[in-house]
């Protein structure tokens, strides 16, 4: 049963190590009015994988160097941050981004 307790620690360490290059972290921490917010890191990774340069410009941050490796972490962090990003996006839609 010792392995069961170490799994969350290992996962937390992997997430912590990847945060500086994590697409979700960078899009949320550098969010500008009007920039995509809901599942922004996941969307940034997917656009980087597809090579969609026009879509990447909307995020106003650089995509991670290894978007395929970052994608699972971005999905996880975007899911955790969903209530916050949804409320911010809703506020911007109702009251403007100024």
Vertex 17: Cα angle to 26 and 77 (nearest 5): 50
Helix-then-strand count for the chain, H and E: 5, 0
Specify the pTM. 0.75
pLDDT tens for 66-78 read 899 889 888 988 9
48 or 8, higher pLDDT: 48
Task: Tell me which residue of 88, 74, 96 sits closest to 19, measured CA to CA.
Answer: 74
Return the pLDDT at 4.
62
| DSSP letter assigned to residue 21 | G
How confident is the model over 14-52, as pLDDT tens digits? 665 555 568 888 888 888 887 888 999 999 999 999 999
- Report residue 10's pLDDT band, with 50, 70 and 90 as the boundaries: confident
Report yes or no: 15 and 40 within 8 Å, Cβ to Cβ.
Answer: no
The band of 8, judged by pLDDT with boundaries at 50, 70 and 90, is confident
């Amino acid at each position: 049963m010792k392995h069961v307790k170490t799994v969350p620690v290992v996962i937390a360490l992997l997430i912590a190590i990847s945060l500086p290059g994590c697409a979700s972290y960078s899009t949320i921490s550098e969010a500008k009015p009007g920039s995509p917010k809901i599942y922004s890191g996941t969307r940034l990774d997917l656009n980087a994988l597809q090579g969609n340069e026009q879509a990447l410009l909307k995020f106003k941050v650089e995509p991670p160097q290894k978007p395929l490796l970052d994608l699972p972490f971005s999905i996880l962090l975007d899911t955790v941050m969903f209530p916050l990003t949804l409320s911010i996006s809703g506020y911007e839609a109702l009251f403007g981004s100024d």
